[in-house]
Amino acid sequence: MDSLDWNRLAVATLISVGIFAGGWILGNTLIQASPPQKPAFLIKSTDSSPDFSIADSKHGQDVAAQQCGLCHTFEENGPSKIGPNLYEIIGHKIASRKDFHYSQALSARNKETWDQQKLYQWIKNPMEMVPGTTMAFAGVNDPSDRADIIAFLSKSSPVPPPKPLATTSAAPNTDTNLQKEGKVAAQKECAACHSFDPNGRNLIGPNLYNIVNKPIANKKNYPYSQALVSQKGLWSETNLDKWLENPSLWIPNNKMIYTGVSSPQTRKAIIIYLRSLAPK
């Protein structure tokens, strides 16, 4: 190539650069870049601060029953089970239920209050939020499920307690009435861990059919704790009353994680019901 060809190539290059530069400047002048008023699509947030106001409390009630109902009650004055009653928990101090024995890790935070955000993190992963807690629960993975559970707990709609059996002279509080009351109480207090029917299977605890006045730890197909196996005697009504009141106090080191039934009347009713569960 001679010098004339090089000159032509240089001129062509300059012209091309000039055209591109001029087009870029003109385009930016005529069309101003601005963010869209509305995103083209939404990505579901995994933020730790969900909008609880749009959560579904009815769905939350169903999820709470499935995920939490084995260990907790939700109604006003409901008993503690493996875990404490959760009625009106939001706004209460952490580890504040008098009838439940909390872990040392959770008790150490008893100056704090259960608000929606703390519950959200707790339901997500209890052991991550409070290392050392005894709550053996992996957590609820779905953020919307967690928000819905909290919406349900926020409502704390009282569940009317069952009407007490009449104790007037027209309907005396006989063993028959106590047996009916005991059946309801046993289903509420014990059915999560025990079955009651003949040949019923063992659950977390042993089947309770025909247990009254039988030797303690006598079910052949159930692995009792050594503490219970070592306890001599029968499941008399007196021993059953002590056990129902506070299993860990009556037989230390047994493996039944249950705080007990505080009401003597309810314990008596449950025992009368258990007494009826025997071959006729």
Whether residues 186 and 248 fall in one domain: yes
| Sign of the dihedral defined by the CA atoms of residues 92, 96, 100, 104, in that order | positive
- Asked, for residue 66, whether it belongs to a domain, the answer is yes
Q: Tell whether the model's pLDDT for residue 144 goes beyond 70.
A: yes
- Asked, for residue 253, whether it belongs to a domain, the answer is yes
Whether residues 91 and 59 fall in one domain: yes
Which CATH number do you get for residue 76?
1.10.760.10
Whether residues 179 and 86 fall in one domain: no
Quick one: average pLDDT of 45-72?
80
Whether residues 205 and 270 fall in one domain: yes
Whether residues 139 and 196 fall in one domain: no
Q: State the alpha helices, DSSP H only, in 31-164.
A: 57-68, 104-107, 116-124, 126-129, 143-155
Number of domains the chain is built from: 2
Decide: pTM greater than 0.75: no
- Asked, for residue 130, whether it belongs to a domain, the answer is yes
Q: Among 146-150, 154-158, 265-269, which stretch is predicted with the lowest mean pLDDT?
A: 154-158
Whether residues 200 and 139 fall in one domain: no
- Asked, for residue 160, whether it belongs to a domain, the answer is no
Instruction: Pick the more confident residue, 122 or 11.
Output: 122
Q: Tell whether the model's pLDDT for residue 64 goes beyond 50.
A: yes
Please state, in angstroms and rounded to a whole number, the distance separating the CA atoms of residues 21 and 14.
10
Whether residues 190 and 243 fall in one domain: yes
Whether residues 146 and 64 fall in one domain: yes
pLDDT digits (tens, 9 = 90+) for 249-270: 999 998 888 888 988 999 999 9
% of the chain at pLDDT higher than 70? 81
Q: Tell whether the model's pLDDT for residue 215 goes beyond 90.
A: yes
pLDDT for 183 equals 92
Whether residues 205 and 248 fall in one domain: yes
pLDDT for 225 equals 92
Cβ burial 205-218 (10 Å sphere, 16+ → b, else e): bbbbbebbeeebbe
- Asked, for residue 165, whether it belongs to a domain, the answer is no
- Asked, for residue 30, whether it belongs to a domain, the answer is no
- Asked, for residue 100, whether it belongs to a domain, the answer is yes
- Asked, for residue 59, whether it belongs to a domain, the answer is yes
Whether residues 227 and 197 fall in one domain: yes
Whether residues 130 and 78 fall in one domain: yes
| Residue 5 CA from chain centroid, whole number | 83
Q: In terms of residue numbers, what domain contains 95?
A: 53-155
pLDDT for 241 equals 93
